[in-house]
Amino acid sequence: MFGDYSIGDLGSIFVMQGFAGLILFSVYVLMALGLAIIFGQMGVINMAHGEFMILGAYVTWMTSNVFQSYLPSLFSGYFFLAMILAFLASGALGMLVEWVLIRHLYKRPLDTLLATWGLSLMLQQAYRSIFGAREVGVELPQWMLGSLHVTDSIEVPINGVFVMGLTVLITIAVAYIMFRSRWGRQVRAVVQNRIMAGAVGINTAKVDRYTFALGCGIAGVAGSAFTMIGSTGPTSGQLYIVDTFLVVVFGGAASLLGTIASAFSISQTQSTLEFFMSGSMAKVLTLLAVVGILMLRPQGLFALKVRK
Amino acid sequence: MNDSRFTTRSELIGILVLAVFLVVILPLCLDVFRLNLVAKYLTYAFVALGLVICWGYGGILSLGQGVFFGLGGYCMAMFLKLEASSVENTKIQSTPGIPDFMDWNQITALPFFWKPFHSLTFTVAAVMLVPGIFALIIGAAMFKRRVGGTYFAIITQAVAAILTILIVGQQGYTGGINGMTDLRTLKGWDIRPDHAKIVLYFFEVGLLFACIFIAQFVRHSKLGRILVAMRDQEDRVRFSGYSVANFKIFAFCIAAIFAAIGGAMFALNVGFMSPSFVGIVPSIEMVIYTAVGGRLSILGAVYGTILVNFAKTSLSESFPELWLFGLGGLFIAVVLAFPNGLAGIWGDYVQPRIDRLIGSRKPKSGAGWTDDSVADGAPAE
């Protein structure tokens, strides 16, 4: 499989595929971060997570259209507003869903799976009715197009670099919120012992609602970033949901670091393999490896030691 | 309920009612086309039956039943496809005697794993053994390590994704996204004309009742009670000295074999098999059939499957937009309001009235086709 390439070529291939893997990594991390909060912390299996992401993507698309028609002079900066709007829209929908649906099901995690799957079907159909069945793509501002030439054989696209920078920022923000802020401490307290947390005066229902909303909001931002590297259709979210769950489970559900490490290893394996074989076989091998490792080590890469 | 009889009297009545419904009423009322549709729905009822044992009684939610349905279906389809691609039928191909999709993909010889499927005996064995052994491997790997609940659900879902990608990707060996089409004869007997469809329908109903009786047997045996105990208090069962993992593996394998029988009947009745019945979406839909019918009710699962599929066909014929909203709403409504599905509604509201009308001595025995243990370890609150 390596025979036809020289050492230098191979190096470039690994760097370029590695970079393609990094972009996939960014999307995985952004999606998995939201899921790690919702699934890892709250134990809710949110099968509609992909649809929250796609909501963010559609919000970004609408924002770009509005800017194109009414504010062409500010078009180069629309993306930042779009991300905030995507966060708010997905977060608001998440809050509504938590209030209507999820809060009745905290004691039945497997049933949240079925209910949110129903929700995802409804959201998909809603997107199809509102935005049409065809995939849409946003127009990128000028400064995001093109690529950076690192050496003769290595070049990296600018939008990819931007997405990665964004991922790093959001990861740091989430880590700060969850592990340094007062609110994050409340979230973790509620997760670890709901009754005790309530007894010391934490409003657990409110914490639940905002935690779920935060997870969905991050999914919205993920969708916003997703528009820069792919087009958006009503069912795009579903393509990523199983991968994302595997990323979270593989990393060890409650560990943020584990999520990042597993997103990195899965995306890198997949994109490197993709160069040497068909995309579908690369995916099969990656998923098989993940499932195989999970069978040997069900608690995931980074497991928290908890007393059950 | 502590009788270990095979069925109680009211259960027997329930089974008889279903038998009359499927064997007498439906064939009399429906034309052959609709009857064939019912036959297609009933193939999913096998899966739903398996899920009642595995999920309802054992508490193991598998989101990968499509895998077993698909494996069973593909085993059957491989046999039928080989018979349909005899040398004289495929004269125009560059390599006669192999399935058409292999020829299109420049494969010149029959792959080794296709060869045994020339034999019907082997195929029938494979329909049950391949998924059964596969389920045994997955189950042993997961349950021996005490992986359960949500993790198990996600991993089975990943397995469904893997198998779909594999089938679609390996077009030359599996027929790819189109699947195996143009299946014609079973040992020289044409499966396509109307009278064959009717024979197949009755054969399938017979198999379904065999599976219902097996499920009834499991449920009323000591094994079934251990399963329920395990679902509700796994640790206590373990501390009592039972090997929890083995019981779980058993329930999972039974469910897989039922699903595979359904898949094989699907290939026979519908005349093709494709990866769109293997993946994540169909697997979850199969769970919803069980949930609508009642996850604790063996007969409820059959009714639920027929009902949801009937609604799907009629709604998506006339209002394709509404169907997904309807299905989504159904998921949410069943989970939020009726965790025990139709059977729960029947057992809570209809059965007591019937009992009162008849003047039964035990008005709230709940011994209809719902299970007593409605509590489900998952209170309705």
pLDDT at B206: 93
Domain boundaries, chain A: 22-251
Q: CB–CB of A113 and B150 under 8 A?
A: yes
Q: CB–CB of B166 and A280 under 8 A?
A: yes
Label residue B315 by pLDDT band (50, 70, 90): confident
A137 reaches B (C-beta below 8 A)? no
**Can you read off the two tokens belonging to residue B320?**
């394709």
Label residue B250 by pLDDT band (50, 70, 90): very high
pLDDT at B210: 93
Which chain B positions have a beta carbon within 8 Å of A249's beta carbon?
A: 151, 154-155
Between CA B346 and CA A161 the distance in angstroms is: 59
Determine the average pLDDT of the residues in B270-283. 88
Residues 15-44 of A with CB under 8 A from B: 43
Most confident by average pLDDT, A279-283, B87-91, B278-282: B278-282
Under 8 Å CB pairs connecting chains A and B tally to 119
Residue B378 has pLDDT above 50, yes or no: no
Strands, E, within B144-270: which ranges?
185-186, 189-190
Determine the average pLDDT of the residues in B351-376. 57
The shortest CB-CB distance from B321 to any of A105, A109, A129 is to A129
Q: Quick: pLDDT tens for A206-233.
A: 888 999 999 999 999 988 888 877 778 8
Contact (Cβ atoms closer than 8 angstroms) between residue B340 and residue B370: yes
B-interface mutation test, from A47, A114, A238, most B Cβ less than 10 A away = A114
pLDDT at A3: 58
pLDDT top residue among B3 and A31: A31
Task: Work out the minimum CA distance from A242 to partner chain B, whole angstroms.
Answer: 6
Determine the average pLDDT of the residues in B178-197. 82
Task: Work out the minimum CA distance from B240 to partner chain A, whole angstroms.
Answer: 20
ipTM above 0.85 for this complex: no
pLDDT at B137: 92
Label residue B235 by pLDDT band (50, 70, 90): confident
Q: Report the residue of chain B nearest A102, measured CA to CA.
A: B336
pLDDT at A154: 67
Q: Report the residue of chain A nearest B378, measured CA to CA.
A: A108
pLDDT at A153: 64
pLDDT at B73: 93
Q: b/e string for B199-208 if b means 16 or more Cβ within 10 A?
A: ebbeebbebb
Label residue B257 by pLDDT band (50, 70, 90): very high
Share of chain A above pLDDT 70, in %: 92
Between CA B94 and CA B182 the distance in angstroms is: 19
Contact (Cβ atoms closer than 8 angstroms) between residue A75 and residue A68: yes
pLDDT at A5: 67
Residue B342 has pLDDT above 80, yes or no: yes
Dihedral angle computed from the Cα positions of residues B375, A208, A238 and A113, in that order, rounded to the nearest 10 degrees: -10
Beta bridge partners of B15: none
For residue B184, the one-letter residue type is R
pLDDT at A306: 52
Q: What share of chain A is helix, strand, coil (3-state, %, to 5)?
A: 75, 5, 20
Kindly report the backbone phi and psi dihedral angles of residue A148, in degrees, each rounded to the nearest multiple of 5, phi listed first: -90, 130
pLDDT at B328: 85
pLDDT at B46: 93
DSSP A153: S
B145 reaches A (C-beta below 8 A)? yes
pLDDT at A2: 55
Mean pLDDT of chain A: 82
The residue among A287, A270, A290, A268 whose CA lies nearest residue A279 is A270
3-class SS of residue A35: helix
For residue A66, CA distances in Å to A57, A58, A59 come to 14, 12, 10
- Pick the range with the lowest mean pLDDT from A14-23, A76-85, A149-158: A149-158
Which chain A positions have a beta carbon within 8 Å of B284's beta carbon?
A: 114, 117
Between CA A248 and CA A34 the distance in angstroms is: 10
- Pick the range with the lowest mean pLDDT from A44-58, B253-267, B364-378: B364-378
- Pick the range with the lowest mean pLDDT from A144-153, B48-57, B126-135, B309-318: A144-153
- Pick the range with the lowest mean pLDDT from A20-34, A133-147, B234-248, B304-318: A133-147
Residue A90 has pLDDT above 60, yes or no: yes
pLDDT at A88: 94
The pTM of the full predicted model, rounded to 2 decimals, is 0.85
Contact (Cβ atoms closer than 8 angstroms) between residue A261 and residue A301: yes
pLDDT at B1: 44
DSSP B369: S
Label residue B365 by pLDDT band (50, 70, 90): very low
Residue B371 has pLDDT above 50, yes or no: no
Which residues, 6+ apart, have CB-to-CB distance to B113 below 8 Å?
none
Residue B179 has pLDDT above 50, yes or no: yes
pLDDT top residue among B97 and B379: B97
Share of chain B above pLDDT 90, in %: 23
The shortest CB-CB distance from A125 to any of B165, B324, B335 is to B324
Q: CB–CB of B169 and A291 under 8 A?
A: no
Q: CB–CB of B162 and A291 under 8 A?
A: yes
Determine the average pLDDT of the residues in A247-267. 82
Residue B224 has pLDDT above 90, yes or no: no
Residue A279 has pLDDT above 60, yes or no: yes
Q: Quick: pLDDT tens for B158-172.
A: 899 899 988 988 888
Residue B367 has pLDDT above 70, yes or no: no
Q: Quick: pLDDT tens for A107-146.
A: 887 788 888 988 998 998 898 888 887 888 777 777 767 7
Label residue B375 by pLDDT band (50, 70, 90): very low
B25 reaches A (C-beta below 8 A)? no
Q: Quick: pLDDT tens for B105-124.
A: 888 888 888 888 888 889 99
Share of chain B above pLDDT 70, in %: 92
Q: Quick: pLDDT tens for B51-101.
A: 999 998 888 889 889 999 999 999 999 999 888 887 777 777 777 778 888
Most confident by average pLDDT, B72-76, B139-143, B233-237: B72-76
Contact (Cβ atoms closer than 8 angstroms) between residue B215 and residue B301: no
B102 reaches A (C-beta below 8 A)? no
pLDDT at A58: 92
Mean pLDDT of chain B: 83
What number of CA atoms fall less than 13 Å from residue B129's CA on the CB side?
A: 6
Q: CB–CB of A115 and B335 under 8 A?
A: yes
Which residues, 6+ apart, have CB-to-CB distance to A61 below 8 Å?
A136, A137, A138, A227, A232
pLDDT at B353: 82
Contact (Cβ atoms closer than 8 angstroms) between residue A170 and residue A177: no
**Can you read off the two tokens belonging to residue A208?**
């639940």
pLDDT at B364: 46
Residue B263 has pLDDT above 80, yes or no: yes
Residue A277 has pLDDT above 90, yes or no: no
